[in-house]
Amino acid sequence: MQLKYKIVALGILPLLLAVAVICALVVFQNQKLGEQQAQLIENGILASKRAELKNYVAMALSVIAPLYADGQGDARAQRLALQALAEINFGRDGYFFVYDEAGRNLMHPRQADLVGKNMWNLTDPHGLLAVQALLASARADDGFLRYAWQKPSTGQVTDKLAYVVMLQRWGWMLGTGIYLEDVQQAIQQAREEIASEVHATMLAIAAVALLAVLLVFACGLTLNVREHRLADSRLQSLNRRIINLQEDERSRISRELHDGISQLLVSIKFQFELASHELDAAQAKGLETLRRAIERLGGAIGEVRRISHDLHPSLLDTLGLSAAIGQLAAEFEQRCGLTVLYRDDLHAVQLPDGVAVALFRIVQEALTNIERHAMASTAHIDLGQVAGAVQLEIEDDGIGFNPRQIEQIQGGIGLRNMRERVEHFGGTFSLASTPGCTRIGVALPVSLSGAVPFPARRVEA
């Protein structure tokens, strides 16, 4: 995935995830509040229905009260009471019903075919023994029961809320009920209104999310264009640096070849020619001249080896980092006359090639800087390991410098190279300098658990 798409995805995906979570929370909370509101509506309507049913039953009791209070001629009083109750009705589906304690229907003005039948084992569509439950509710003085019953006006079975009381002396259960279709319609209407509100809320959130996504996309596109230009500028600068470094390195090698190897080879050529003439002339000094030429040839070979070692030390591949730094320190001490104290606690552990080369080049660059600028007499090189990392410290007792100032000028390329090498491997680089002490610290994360030590010797200065 290209950088610009990564930036846009990084901005949009968390936003979409947050919007999705918000939408889920809004839907959940609205549904929860909707159910609570529907429950409140249902409870309110049912409370009013219960009060209404109590009033109807109280009215029916007041109608038959004179007959029930008359203790004489109970059979005639009961017959008259049933006739009076059958004539009382309210609305299309409001009526009273009477059962005896055995579950036999004594009066039902809307369903005459039930009169005289034993309904003890009658169950509604929900499996409820309706008549038994009504009798139990009446005996418990609660009186209210919700069950399913056939609605006379439509012939459909629907929910019904009944209120019943016991007439103990006659052994009757008197009750009435109200069908709950209007309650269900009110609750359904409330749920539909809540669903409509949820839908409107979701549309509003979607509109806000769309605007936010467009805004993020525009900002991401702007940032991408800016970062792309900045990256191009940095890439061009890096290319120029690489070209300059390549040219500097080529110039250095060219100078060393021209001023060192070339001059030595020319001198050796002259020595061999002189020795050839002297030997042809049978002069005794011809052998001495030949020996001097051979000595100079050895010096030329050593110079070639030094240049090759500077380009890539073969000892780094054969004996490892510890020995390569030891040889570098020894050669530096011989060449410059400085005292180099090298302490190696890495125990010749074999490091990854990239890490070993980076640490070697850092030491090489640091010693070069000490030779050219520090005016020091002693240098310390400390190579070791800490938890999960290789640690390198280089210290000298030179004149010091201002690290901030030196990195801002052209002469700070070496320090920048050190820092970039360390950052490439995810390590840490520290630099501190005062008159009399300059310290460079490097720590590169390396897994040493499976490292294999070099079997060869270790070279130290």
Q: Are residues 162 and 17 in the same domain?
A: yes
Q: Which of 369, 433, 367 is nearest to 401 (CA)?
A: 433
CATH number of the structural domain spanning residue 416: 3.30.565.10
**Residue 454 in contact with residue 350, Cβ under 8 Å?**
yes
Q: Give the model's pLDDT for residue 137.
A: 92
Q: Are residues 180 and 320 in the same domain?
A: no
Give backbone dihedrals phi and psi of 149, rounded to 5 degrees, phi first. Answer: -150, 155
SS3 track for the chain: CCHHHHHHHHHHHHHHHHHHHHHHHHHHHHHHHHHHHHHHHHHHHHHHHHHHHHHHHHHHHHHHHHHHHCCCCHHHHHHHHHHHHHHCEECCCEEEEEEECCCEEEECCCCHHHCCCECCCCECCCCCEHHHHHHHHHHCCCCEEEEEEECCCCCCEEEEEEEEEEECCCCEEEEEEEECHHHHHHHHHHHHHHHHHHHHHHHHHHHHHHHHHHHHHHHHHHHHHHHHHHHHHHHHHHHHHHHHHHHHHHHHHHHHHHHHHHHHHHHHHHHHHHHHHHHHCCCCHHHHHHHHHHHHHHHHHHHHHHHHHHHCCHHHHHCCHHHHHHHHHHHHHHHHCCEEEEEECCCCECCCHHHHHHHHHHHHHHHHHHHHHHCCCEEEEEEEEECCEEEEEEEECCCCCCHHHHHCCHHHHHHHHHHHHHHHCCCEEEEEEECCEEEEEEEEECCCCCCCECCCCCCCC
Amino acid at 11: G
Query: Residue 87 falls within a domain, yes or no?
Result: yes
Q: Give the model's pLDDT for residue 407.
A: 59
Query: Residue 115 falls within a domain, yes or no?
Result: yes
Tokens of 49: 């229905």
Q: Which of 130, 92, 135, 96 is nearest to 115 (CA)?
A: 96
Q: Are residues 31 and 174 in the same domain?
A: yes
Q: Which domain-ending residue is among 185, 203, 230?
A: 185
Query: Residue 281 falls within a domain, yes or no?
Result: no
Q: Which domain-ending residue is among 141, 160, 185?
A: 185
Structural domain count, the chain: 2
Q: Are residues 31 and 180 in the same domain?
A: yes
Query: Residue 267 falls within a domain, yes or no?
Result: no
Q: Are residues 177 and 28 in the same domain?
A: yes
Q: What is the C-alpha to C-alpha distance for residues 226 and 391, in angstroms, rounded to an integer?
A: 38
Query: Residue 225 falls within a domain, yes or no?
Result: no
Q: Which of 397, 268, 269 is nearest to 338 (CA)?
A: 397
Residue 337 neighbours by CB under 8 Å, 6+ apart: none
Query: Residue 210 falls within a domain, yes or no?
Result: no
> What is the Cβ-side half-sphere exposure of residue 389, based on CA atoms within 13 angstroms?
15
Please give the average pLDDT of every successive group of 10 residues along the chain, which has 461 residues. 66 76 80 78 83 91 87 78 89 89 91 90 91 92 90 87 91 90 77 78 79 74 75 78 71 71 78 80 79 80 71 70 85 87 80 82 88 89 87 92 69 74 88 91 77 42 36
Strand partners, 384: 391
Q: Are residues 172 and 319 in the same domain?
A: no
Give backbone dihedrals phi and psi of 122, rounded to 5 degrees, phi first. Answer: -70, 130
Q: What is the C-alpha to C-alpha distance for residues 109 and 98, in angstroms, rounded to an integer?
A: 10
Strand partners, 150: 157
Q: Give the model's pLDDT for residue 441.
A: 93
**Residue 422 in contact with residue 389, Cβ under 8 Å?**
no
Q: Give the model's pLDDT for residue 450.
A: 45
Q: What is the C-alpha to C-alpha distance for residues 102 and 97, in angstroms, rounded to an integer?
A: 15
Q: Which domain-ending residue is among 154, 185, 216?
A: 185
Query: Residue 52 falls within a domain, yes or no?
Result: yes
Whole-Å CA distances, 193 to 25, 200, 227? 19, 11, 50
Q: Give the model's pLDDT for residue 245.
A: 67
**Residue 143 in contact with residue 165, Cβ under 8 Å?**
yes
**Residue 440 in contact with residue 366, Cβ under 8 Å?**
yes
CATH number of the structural domain spanning residue 108: 3.30.450.20
Query: Residue 456 falls within a domain, yes or no?
Result: no
Residue 398 neighbours by CB under 8 Å, 6+ apart: 370, 373, 374, 375, 376, 436, 438
Full residue range of the structural domain in which residue 21 is found: 3-185
